[in-house]
C-alpha cells in the first residue's frame, strides 16, 4: 500500500500565495486589456466582453465559495464598515471618471466645456447610479455572508452535539433508592 506524502504546511501556504498572485495578475491583465480595447482601440463591446465575463465569473465564484466555506468577506467592525463605504465611493468615482472620459470623447462637440451643465448632470447621474448599484451588491454580499456564517455555525453546533455524549439518565446509571430509604439503616 502506498503512503500518501504529506505536504508541509509552509509549502501549502506558499503554493496558495503563488496561486492568489497568479490569479490577481491574470484578472488585472484581463481588465487592462478590456480598458485598452474600449478606450484606446475604440472597439465595440463584443471584442472585450469575454474578458469582462471571465473576471466577473471568477470573482463571483470566489465570493460565493468563500461565503459557503464560512470565510469572512465582510468586516462587521466600525472600521470595516467605514472601509466598505469608502471603497464603494472610490469605485463609483472611478467608474464615473471612465464613463465621463468616454462620454466627452464621443460627444465633446455637443458640450460647451467640462463645466457644461448637461455633462455634469450625466456625471452626477452615473455616479449616483453606480453608487446605488455597488451598495446593493455590497448589501447582497453582506446578506449572503450572514446566511453562510449562520449555516456554518449550525453545522458546527450539530457536529459538537454528535461528539458530546448525552448525560446519563437514572435508567442508564442503574436503579437508585428513593430519598426516604437512604438515611435509614436496616
Residue range 59-70, pLDDT digits in tens: 888 877 877 776
Boundaries of every domain in the chain: 15-69, 73-162
Mean pLDDT, the chain, integer: 81
pLDDT average, residue stretch 151-174: 71
Separation between Cα atoms, residue 179 and residue 185, nearest integer Å: 13
pLDDT on residue 137: 86
pLDDT on residue 183: 53
Cell of 81: 464598515
Phi, psi of 73, deg, nearest 5: -95, -20
Residue range 82-126, pLDDT digits in tens: 888 898 999 999 999 988 988 888 888 888 888 888 889 999 999
Among the residues of 70-169, which ranges form H helices? 78-107, 117-163
Question: In whole angstroms, how far apart are CA 149 and each of 33, 67, 79, 145, 162?
Answer: 36, 7, 20, 6, 20
pLDDT average, residue stretch 3-31: 84
3-state secondary structure of 167: coil
Match 469608502 to its residue by C-alpha cell. 86
Give residue 180's pLDDT band: very low, low, confident or very high (50, 70, 90): low
pLDDT on residue 64: 77
Separation between Cα atoms, residue 35 and residue 41, nearest integer Å: 9
DSSP assignments along 22-44, one per residue: HHHHHHHHHHHHHHIIIIIS---
The DSSP code for 5 is P
Q: Is the pLDDT of residue 35 over 90?
A: no
pLDDT on residue 2: 54
Percent of the chain with pLDDT over 90: 17
pLDDT average, residue stretch 155-183: 65
Separation between Cα atoms, residue 141 and residue 87, nearest integer Å: 14
Amino acid at each position: 500500500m502506498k503512503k500518501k506524502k504529506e505536504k508541509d504546511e509552509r509549502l501549502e501556504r506558499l503554493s496558495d500565495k503563488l496561486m492568489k498572485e497568479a490569479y490577481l495578475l491574470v484578472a488585472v491583465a484581463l481588465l487592462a486589456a478590456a480598458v485598452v480595447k474600449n478606450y484606446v482601440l475604440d472597439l465595440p463591446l463584443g471584442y472585450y466582453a469575454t474578458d469582462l465575463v471571465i473576471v466577473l465569473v471568477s470573482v463571483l465564484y470566489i465570493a460565493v465559495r468563500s461565503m459557503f466555506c464560512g470565510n469572512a468577506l465582510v468586516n462587521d467592525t466600525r472600521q470595516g464598515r467605514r472601509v466598505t463605504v469608502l471603497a464603494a465611493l472610490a469605485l463609483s468615482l472611478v467608474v464615473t471618471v471612465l464613463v465621463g472620459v468616454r462620454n466627452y470623447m464621443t460627444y465633446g462637440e455637443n458640450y460647451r466645456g467640462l463645466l457644461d451643465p448637461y455633462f455634469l448632470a450625466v456625471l452626477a447621474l452615473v455616479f449616483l447610479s453606480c453608487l446605488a448599484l455597488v451598495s446593493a451588491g455590497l448589501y447582497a454580499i453582506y446578506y449572503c455572508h450572514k446566511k453562510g456564517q449562520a449555516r456554518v455555525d449550525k453545522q458546527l453546533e450539530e457536529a459538537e452535539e454528535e461528539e458530546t455524549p448525552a448525560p446519563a439518565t437514572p435508567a442508564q446509571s442503574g436503579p437508585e433508592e428513593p430519598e426516604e430509604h437512604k438515611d435509614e439503616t436496616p
